[in-house]
């Protein structure tokens, strides 16, 4: 693909966002698969979603939310009890530590309220920029573009960034689109990554972005690369090497 001006990249990004919006309509709140009621519940669910499917998290959170409806309730939770409740989400000890630390910080520093500022959110235990951006864009109506593995893979394949660092990718994407579109774009890229542009077997022939994607066709290359090469001839057809012939002659 020839070198692209920033203006041309913005125009292509806008077209990509438009098509993804047609494929996956709705706001960031509509598109979020984690069931929740308010920013506190979404923060809990997002922490639990690390290395876990949204479906599994949604099976676990109703009991957690009922048992610990507020930050103060969660802050006072018995760690062993909480661990057992969230065990099936994986990494349950680390997640318990993050949840308790987050809730205790909210209760002590923000009087149980919820801070919308990025600096305040990332100061909470277990909360990084990705988690903070999810909560800001989905539950608080604030600008936020979460960068996970799907967003990283797709934004690079689409030629919207060359970066590998999540914060740099976030900055590059945010520079291409108005902030009102950031949250929904992130979730649409995640959905597209799961359904079409997977890591190992992208389905370029089925992708409605193929004509604006510089990586279109990598599914064919991946398929060719996965095919085994030529197998060697059967043993009976092999010719003996010069070294083996010499050893045979000298014996």
**94, two tokens:** 């680390």
Tens-place pLDDT, residues 154-175:
999 999 999 999 999 999 999 9
Question: Is the Cβ–Cβ distance between 163 and 8 less than 8 Å?
Answer: no
Lowest mean pLDDT among 94-98, 133-137, 205-209, 231-235: 231-235
Of the pLDDT bands very low, low, confident and very high (cuts 50, 70, 90), residue 1 is low
Tens-place pLDDT, residues 32-48:
999 999 999 999 999 99
Indicate if the pLDDT at residue 7 is higher than 80: yes
Mark whether 162 is an active-site residue. Answer: no
- pLDDT at residue number 229: 54
Of the pLDDT bands very low, low, confident and very high (cuts 50, 70, 90), residue 3 is confident
Cα–chain-centroid distance for residue 208?
Answer: 21
Catalytic residue among 107, 130, 172, 219: 130
Catalytic residue among 148, 162, 172, 230: 148
Looking at CATH, the fold of the domain delimited by 1-26+145-199+208-213 is given as Endonuclease Iii, domain 2 (1.10.1670)
- Tallying the residues shown for the chain, one arrives at 251
Question: Do the two domains 1-26+145-199+208-213 and 32-142 of this chain adopt the same fold?
Answer: no
**239, two tokens:** 């010719």
Q: Read off the pTM.
A: 0.85
Mark whether 148 is an active-site residue. Answer: yes
Q: Which of 140, 185, 170, 191 is nearest to 33 (CA)?
A: 191
Q: Within 10 Å of residue 25's Cβ, how many Cβ atoms?
A: 11
> Regarding predicted confidence, which is higher, 220 or 45?
45
Looking at CATH, the fold of the domain delimited by 32-142 is given as Endonuclease III; domain 1 (1.10.340)
Indicate if the pLDDT at residue 108 is higher than 90: yes
Hey, where are the domains in the chain?
1-26+145-199+208-213, 32-142
């Amino acid at each position: 693909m020839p070198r692209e001006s920033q203006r041309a990249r913005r125009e292509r990004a806008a077209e990509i966002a438009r098509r993804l919006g047609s494929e996956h309509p709705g706001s960031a709140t509509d598109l979020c698969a984690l069931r929740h009621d308010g920013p506190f519940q979404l923060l809990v669910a997002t922490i639990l979603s690390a290395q876990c499917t949204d479906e599994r998290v949604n099976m676990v959170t109703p009991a957690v939310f009922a048992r610990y409806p507020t930050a103060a309730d969660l802050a006072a939770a018995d760690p062993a009890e909480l661990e057992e409740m969230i065990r099936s989400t994986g990494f349950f000890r680390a997640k318990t530590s993050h949840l308790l630390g987050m809730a205790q910080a909210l209760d002590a520093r923000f009087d149980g309220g919820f801070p919308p500022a990025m600096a305040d959110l990332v100061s909470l235990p277990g909360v990084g920029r990705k988690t903070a951006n999810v909560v800001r864009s989905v539950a608080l109506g604030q600008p936020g573009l979460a960068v996970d593995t799907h967003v990283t893979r797709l934004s690079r394949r689409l030629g919207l960034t060359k970066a590998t660092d999540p914060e740099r990718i976030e900055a590059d994407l945010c520079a291409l689109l108005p902030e009102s579109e950031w949250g929904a774009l992130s979730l649409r890229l995640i959905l597209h990554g799961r359904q079409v542009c997977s890591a190992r077997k992208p389905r370029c022939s089925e992708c409605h972005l193929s004509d604006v994607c510089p990586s279109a066709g990598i599914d064919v290359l991946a398929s060719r690369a996965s095919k085994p090469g030529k197998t060697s001839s059967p043993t009976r057809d092999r010719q003996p090497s010069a070294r083996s012939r010499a050893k045979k002659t000298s014996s």
